[in-house]
């Protein structure tokens, strides 16, 4: 079974997960918080996040994270990978 069919986001308005405007101000902040609240209770959040990080730049809230948060995760993963390679 595909993990996506088990996502709680399927029962929500898809627009909720694609805030308009910056996630650090105004209505977009509220919308981002509401989307992340759905993700916190979702049984496939980890898989969703892994997909979004592995896929690269994708818009919207995925796995309970914003685009900026996923960029930071990818950078951290790259740094950790380089550190591991350097130590070997």
Residues 6+ apart with CB under 8 A from 23: 29, 32, 66, 68
Q: Which residues are annotated as a binding site for [4Fe-4S] cluster?
A: 9, 39, 42, 48
Q: How far apart are CA 75 and CA 88, in angstroms?
A: 20
Q: Collapse the DSSP code of 62 into the 3-class scheme (helix H, G, I; strand E, B; otherwise coil) and give the result.
A: strand
Q: Which residues are annotated as a binding site?
A: 9, 39, 42, 48
């Amino acid at each position: 079974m595909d993990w996506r069919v088990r996502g709680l986001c399927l029962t929500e308005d898809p627009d909720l997960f694609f805030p308009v405007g910056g996630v650090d101000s105004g209505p977009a902040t509220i919308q981002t918080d509401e989307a992340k609240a759905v993700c916190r209770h979702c049984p496939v959040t980890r898989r969703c996040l892994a997909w979004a990080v592995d896929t690269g730049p994708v818009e919207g809230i995925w796995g309970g994270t914003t685009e900026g948060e996923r960029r930071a995760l990818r950078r951290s993963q790259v740094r950790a990978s380089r550190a591991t390679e350097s130590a070997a």
